[in-house]
Chains A and B, each alone.
Chain A
Amino acid sequence: MNTDPREHISCLMDGEISRETGRFLVRRLGADQALSATWARYHLVRDCLRHQEGGLAGQSLAAQVRRAIESEAAPAPSRTIGGAWLRPAVGMAIAASVALMAIVAVGPAGQPSQPLESSLAEGGDAPGFTSPQSLTPAPVSQTASLQGAPAGESRMNAYLLRHYQAAGANGSKGFVTFVPIVLKPAAVTANADPVDSESEKQGNSDEPTQPR
């Protein structure tokens, strides 16, 4: 294949490529990060041109996607942490699944949690495309290794897997997204929000209130 691979990508997107070449290109896309980034960029450009977002996400999403793809070339510092967790030699097989699951603590370490009502109210000014994390005060998180809590994180991931299985087993109940599976192996962090106990139950009435 002497032609510029980018031309092939363009042809693949337009459906103007033979099935065999397309198959080859898809395999190569899986192995070549630069090429796959080009693939993603081309799609974004095409989608923006076609206005496929329909104005729902607006330009902020397109800009966010563009920024994220541009920064993808830089290795994520957390990936090493995730990779180390994944090695079978660790002996905690279930912990390996943590690489799919970026567990990010959202409570400030060692500080009493802000009341939910106020923290969520503050989140009202969040930008249009936000993650739930922005609804809380800025996190102060530590890596799991510094916390000495890998067993706890392993358990948390075992809980997650079991939750997805149980929710699916309910038949007519439960809506389980596949979000964890498509997330990149990112930072594995944990925090030490106040270990409760009874003190945190203060102010909890039995009346369901809107967490706003």
Chain B
Amino acid sequence: MSARTLPAMSAAAWLLWAGNILAEVSDDPYQWLERMSAAMSQMDYQGTFVYVQGDDVVTMRITHVADDAGVRERLVSMSGAPREFLRDSNGVRWVLGDDHSVLADPAFKRSFFPQLPIDHQGQTQRCYALELGGTGRIAGQKVRGVSILPKDHFRYGYRLWLEERSALMLKWELVDGERKPLAKLMFTDFRMGSEVDTSELVPGSQLKKFRTVESRLPAGRGEAAAAPRWQPSRLPPGFELTDHRLFAQQGASIFEHLVYSDGLAAVSVYVESGAGQEGQAAGLSRLGTTHAFSRLSDGVSITVIGDVPEATVRYIGDAVAAVTP
């Protein structure tokens, strides 16, 4: 049995299973989201989508295959500067811009598509309202809408349109606290299972010269068990500490990374000594819909980053202070 046959069978099995339980989950938005999360990582699919955010419009083509070799994804820009992204067990390689620079990061293995690990413990429910929407048709497929709407202005919400049988996401929309769209993604053609042309996974010629990218931030887990030396004195409702890494050297030099999450949105807080001397700008920055807020305090640089409204990164960043023993 070839490696290619296996994913086709698993996709068929997935569709069969999904079809059998469709009646049971059709009214439960949580189950739709769980199915979507699993389908986006486990199924084979391929398609072209348009992404719109502000004045940026990008048309891209994705091929996603999950087989014995693990998950392989390739994204190719169809408009604008030529860009190509390839993800496999070796990490990620990117072809960037007009100069065809190729970069690789073996540590960056996340999927290009959003994962939605909804918890049932109530954390998500406290901050978001989940609603099942109507049906429609996208890229020739029947879809079902699911909305994850924020209950305040500290976080974004999402509207998703999922293919009825498999729960694969065919349309995604990011909305603000007033439910106005901030960014949108929609497939314009889509195929899955055995219809996927895996030859599109083959990277372009530019990827032959890739080089490894290494962050100069401290690597490893650091003193994960150590208590935070700096932390915000207040957090928006629903946000809890989910990860903490402390790298402290002899003397006063420290690098501390705290991650807070409300179950969907995540915010990182970085505290670093000496960073301010390297010309780091203070204030608010924006990267698409991701915001960052930086300031200097007592000789350390404090930076808060997250895919949340700017008010949220500022709210947290303003409250970060040294923990008094």
Binding site for B on A (CB under 8 A): 13, 19, 22-23, 26, 29-31, 33, 36-37, 39-40, 43-44, 46-47, 50, 52-54, 56-57, 61, 64-65, 68-69, 72, 79, 82-83, 86-88, 92-94, 96-97, 99-107, 113, 116, 120, 124, 126, 128-133, 135-136, 147-153, 155-156, 158-186, 190-198, 200-201, 204, 206-208, 210-212
Contacts and interface: CB of A to CB of B under 8 A. Distances in A.
Contacts, number: 379
B286 A30 contact: no
A162 B58 CA distance: 25
B282 A30 contact: no
B189 to A, nearest CB: 7
Contacts of B207: none
Contacts of A31: 82
A178 B295 contact: no
A128 to B, nearest CB: 6
B204 A163 contact: no
A33 B98 CA distance: 11
B317 to A, nearest CB: 9
Interface of B: 48, 50-61, 75-85, 94, 96-99, 101, 103, 105, 107-108, 110-117, 119, 136-139, 152-154, 158-159, 173-174, 176-178, 180-184, 186, 188-189, 197, 199-200, 204, 211-217, 233-237, 242-243, 245, 257, 259, 261, 263-266, 268, 270, 275-276, 278-292, 294-298, 303, 305-307, 309-312, 314-315, 318-319
Label chain A's interface by main secondary structure: helix
Contact of B268 (A52, A92, A163, A186): A163
B54 A133 contact: yes
Contact of A186 (B56, B199, B309): B56
The 3 A-B residue pairs with the shortest CB-CB distance in the complex, in nearest-first order? A193-B283, A152-B280, A211-B311
A95 B58 CA distance: 22
Contacts of B56: 68, 102, 183-184, 186
Contacts of A130: 54, 176, 180, 182
A30 B77 contact: yes
B204 A159 contact: no
Contacts of A57: 181, 184
